[in-house]
Every structure is written in structure tokens, then in C-alpha cells.
A = this chain, B = another copy of it.
């Protein structure tokens, strides 16, 4: 493991690390914000942030304004990259498949299956590493944006008991039913749609073993709302299953980090209550 960036920030420290990942079969990077209490050696809860298409570990740590909230709540925030990277890693010329578009799944189809195992990386390898090498407790929350909102919902729903809280900004709630998800899942899992269900939040709430409340913000001026995000599908699935959901439609907000920054305080408050309550 090598620390490649460190910056004082709101009394704590924003760092970026590079390490050899067994899950991804190559190098991986993640950002980690250590609040003041963590720098003093006190074990803090950890919030995992999953970014959207085209992002790296940099977008959230430079654009969201998260450090102020993390410092105030004394929560560690970990932001991984969105896919495996490198010349040896399969890729595609489009922005919504391959590098930068890992969808937080474990691919089963060649050539993707050699490296694209973001689910086991995010849910297992990365928390084990964070809890071993940093002042982190095993109290975990997870949140994300767009493809990363899908990632947060699916990761929490697939791992009952592993996360105390989950939230999402403008998530892809039903990848099996929208173009971004259909393209990625056909590549990563093949044409048999039955295999897709285990990676689709709208499918997973139908049989969720744990009623972890879902907290979702969605801008109503989001350019991807009707085609790719379709939060009404999550609302219907949660209503049918009796799964607790808070879905807030935010008037005038788009898909950008300006939207995320505007409501991030509420998400930190939601997670902090579960993580420290």
C-alpha cells in the first residue's frame, strides 16, 4: 500500500492510497477522509461512497464538500475508483462500459470476469483493509450517486447486517430495465436476464431479508430521470414489499455534483444517526 496524496482538510486529513487488489487482480486506488478523532487514534465509523459513470476516486473527494460533514460527525469516508484500471484490463470505447463503468458487480463473462469484481472489492476487500490499517470501527454505511447509487443500494441489500445505513443520490434503481444497465449487464453477465436479478435493487427489495431503510434524493430536472433512473420503479417495489423508503424529489436539481453537494448534509445526518446512534 502506498499513500499517493495527503491534504489537511477541516482539521482532519484527505488521503489517496494505491494498493494491489486481489479482487480486481491489479492496482486499485481509493480516497479516504480521516476526521480529527481518527487522527487521534479513536476508531470511527466508516461511510463508503460509490461514484457514477466516468468517475475515479477523485470526483467525490474534490467536488462534493464531504469533508466538512465527515469532520463534524467524526466519520471516516472511503471513496473507491469505479472499476479496475490499466492496460491489462478489458475496456470499451464507450463511457458506460468497461473502465469507469464497473457497476459494482462481479462479472461472470469473459473478458470482464478477469478483473471486474467490484462487488467483492467494495463489500469485502476494501472494508477489511480499511478496518485493519486505519482507525476504523466495523460500523459501516454506504451511499453513492447514479451508477454508484445503484451500487450502494445493491451492496447493502445483498449483505444483510453488514451496513447500518444506506442512501443514494439519483440512483439507477432498476438496471435490468434501463439502457445503461442493460448494456452493462449483457456484457458482464451475458444475455440470460435471470442472472441480472441479483444485481438489481428493484428485484432485491422483493426478497430482502433485512428491512434496512432506503434514503434516496432525486432531482426532478435530472436529464437521466425518465430514461435511466426511474425512481418510481423503486417506489412501487418498496410499497409492494413493505420495504421502508424515503424518496425525495428535489425540484429543479440536475444530475451534477451541485445536486449532491446541496443535500449531502442530510445524507450525513441520516448515516451518522445509524452509525453513532
Contacts and interface: CB of A to CB of B under 8 A. Distances in A.
B262 A8 contact: yes
A152 to B, nearest CB: 22
A68 B262 CA distance: 7
A219 B6 CA distance: 14
Contacts of A258: 7-9, 14, 67
A55 to B, nearest CB: 13
A120 B260 CA distance: 36
Contacts of A250: 8
Nearest to A62: B63
A139 B277 CA distance: 45
A219 B254 CA distance: 35
Contacts of A262: 8-11, 67
Interface in A225-277: 250-254, 256-259, 261-262
A65 B14 contact: no
Contact count band on A: 20 to 34
- Copies of the chain in the assembly: 2
A1 interface: no
A9 B262 CA distance: 6
A221 interface: yes
A198 B183 CA distance: 61
Interface string A59-75: 00011010110000000
Contact of A261 (B67, B252, B254, B256): B67
Nearest to A221: B8
A10 B256 CA distance: 13
Nearest to A10: B262
Nearest to A262: B10
A58 to B, nearest CB: 11
A65 B68 CA distance: 9
Contacts of A219: 8
A258 B6 CA distance: 10
B261 A10 contact: yes
Given A68-B261, A261-B68, A8 B253 contact: yes
Interface of A: 7-11, 14, 62-63, 65, 67-68, 219, 221, 250-254, 256-259, 261-262
6 contacts: A8-B252, A8-B258, A8-B262, A11-B262, A62-B257, A63-B63
A-B CB proximity, top 10 nearest: A65-B65, A7-B258, A8-B252, A9-B258, A8-B253, A10-B262, A7-B256, A62-B63, A14-B258, A9-B262
